[in-house]
Amino acid sequence: MKVLAIDNRRNNRNTNANHTSRTFEDGVNKLKTEKWDLLYLDYDLGKYKKSGYDVMQFVKENKEFAPKMIMSISPEPSCEDRINGMIKDVYGRVFDSRDVESLKESETKPERI
């Protein structure tokens, strides 16, 4: 499973990400240039002008670059609510750890012929 995190603080060990982008620009570039199964997204990207909400705006406007699922990892409830609202706009629902486990399992099962 290919996992991207867009977060200015957590590292790959915290999210099991294959790559962690620290800025909006790097994160959007990764979304444009690679296919991702899961995106862990924080609202606060530190001192940078754009936030995780801006990443969600990009995904909403460019669905061809959307990963299979996105999960908010914002520790602030109001920020998480804002991100989850955008996730629901794009996917029709929000995702949780059970969805991640299900995605992992579906990728490890052999295909039937």
Q: Note the pLDDT tens digit of each residue in 55-75.
A: 999 999 999 999 999 999 998
Residue 11: pLDDT over 70: no
Contact 40/15 with Cβ under 8 angstroms? Answer: yes
Pick the CATH number of 3-108 from 3.30.930.10, 3.90.650.10, 3.30.413.10, 3.40.50.2300: 3.40.50.2300
pLDDT category at 13 given cuts 50, 70, 90 is low
Q: What is the spatial distance between Cα 67 and Cα 85, in angstroms, rounded to a whole number?
A: 17
Burial of 91 (0-12, 13-18, 19+ CB in 10 A): middle
Residue 103: pLDDT over 80: yes
3 state SS of 10: coil
Q: What is the spatial distance between Cα 82 and Cα 84, in angstroms, rounded to a whole number?
A: 5
More confident residue, 48 or 87: 87
Which has the closest alpha carbon to 65: 108, 19, 92, 28?
A: 28
pLDDT category at 113 given cuts 50, 70, 90 is low
DSSP conformational letter for 4: E
